């Protein structure tokens, strides 16, 4: 019956012989590549060919690291509205976790992480799930200093809720130097604002 609905775009309501046209769009998602017959397994071929009109492949978060922070702040705002709480300042340890975690649970895991963060359950770096080991031991001194400097800037921005004046006073650097360092380290100041 489902195949007929997809193919003919019409249904027959129970208790009647009358055909009624339907205007519908079907969006289906799968965790495996249904285009690969070996992965398709027991999925019905006739249903697959009726559903496979347009395919959109969305890579996992570990392959889209630039999207992680953007999605995190979206989910944090949504969670804050849901729980009627303000979005807390983001600490350096949370930023580090967002950058370094592989997100095996993809967007769902990130959304749950954002909810726990808004509820105050992820503020402490010790509460964060362990991420991959940082390769500091294999890094040269200039690379280690760069990473350390970026962490200090993120932490100071988080403490000052993204306020530039207070952040540059706390860091003791000129405004132009501060903006140069933000650009060099790829730090987005607005992510730290409440």
CB atoms within 10 A of CB 72: 21
Q: Is 21 helix (H, G, I), strand (E, B) or coil?
A: strand
Residues 42 and 78 in one domain: no
Q: Taking 80 as the threshold, does the pLDDT of residue 132 lie above it?
A: no
Domain boundary among 129, 144, 173: 129
Cβ neighbours for 119, distance < 8 A, ≥ 6 positions apart: 79, 83, 85
Residues 25 and 71 in one domain: no
Cα of 64 vs its chain's centroid, Å: 9
Question: 101, 123, 162: which is closest to 182 by C-alpha?
Answer: 162
Distance CA 3, CA 21 (A): 14
The pLDDT of residue 137 is 56
The pLDDT of residue 111 is 93
Domain boundary among 129, 150, 182: 129
DSSP class of 191: G
Extended strands (E) in 6-88 = 10-11, 20-21
Q: What is the pLDDT of residues 14-59, one digit of tens each?
A: 888 898 999 888 888 877 777 777 777 788 888 888 888 888 878 8
Distance CA 157, CA 151 (A): 10
Q: Is 163 helix (H, G, I), strand (E, B) or coil?
A: coil
CB atoms within 10 A of CB 84: 6
Q: What is the pLDDT of residues 138-163, one digit of tens each?
A: 667 788 788 888 888 888 888 888 88
Please give the residue that has the higher pLDDT: either 99 or 115: 115
CB atoms within 10 A of CB 56: 6
- Identity of the highest mean pLDDT range in 83-87, 130-134, 140-144: 83-87
Residues 64 and 124 in one domain: yes
Distance CA 69, CA 55 (A): 26
CB atoms within 10 A of CB 29: 6
Average pLDDT over residues 172-177: 92
Distance CA 29, CA 167 (A): 45
Which range of residues forms the domain containing residue 111? 60-129
Residues 137 and 124 in one domain: no
pTM of full prediction above 0.75: no
How far CA 105 is from CA of 44, 101, 169, 192, in Å, comes to 27, 11, 40, 25
- Per the CB < 8 A criterion, the answer to whether 2 and 47 are in contact is yes
Q: How many domains does the chain have?
A: 3
Residues 166 and 113 in one domain: no
CATH number of the domain at 116, please.
1.10.8.60
Tokens of 88: 């807390």
Residues 71 and 23 in one domain: no
């Amino acid at each position: 019956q489902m195949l007929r609905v997809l193919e003919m775009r019409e249904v027959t309501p129970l208790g009647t012989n009358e055909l009624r046209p339907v205007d519908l769009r079907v969006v289906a998602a799968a965790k495996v590549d249904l285009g690969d017959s070996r992965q398709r397994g027991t999925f019905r071929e006739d249903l697959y060919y009726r559903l496979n009109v347009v395919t959109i492949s969305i890579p996992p978060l570990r392959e889209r690291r630039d999207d992680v922070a953007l999605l995190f702040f979206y989910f944090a705002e949504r969670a804050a509205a849901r729980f009627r709480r303000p979005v807390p300042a983001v600490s350096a340890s949370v930023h580090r976790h967002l950058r370094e975690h592989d997100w095996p649970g993809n967007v769902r895991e990130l959304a749950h992480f954002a909810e726990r963060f808004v509820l105050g359950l992820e503020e402490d770096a010790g509460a964060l799930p362990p991420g991959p080991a940082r390769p500091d031991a294999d890094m040269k001194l200039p690379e280690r200093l760069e990473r350390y400097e970026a962490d200090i800037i993120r932490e100071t921005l988080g403490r000052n809720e993204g306020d530039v004046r207070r952040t540059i006073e706390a860091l003791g650097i000129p405004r132009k130097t501060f903006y140069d360092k933000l650009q060099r380290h790829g730090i987005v100041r607005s992510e730290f604002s409440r």
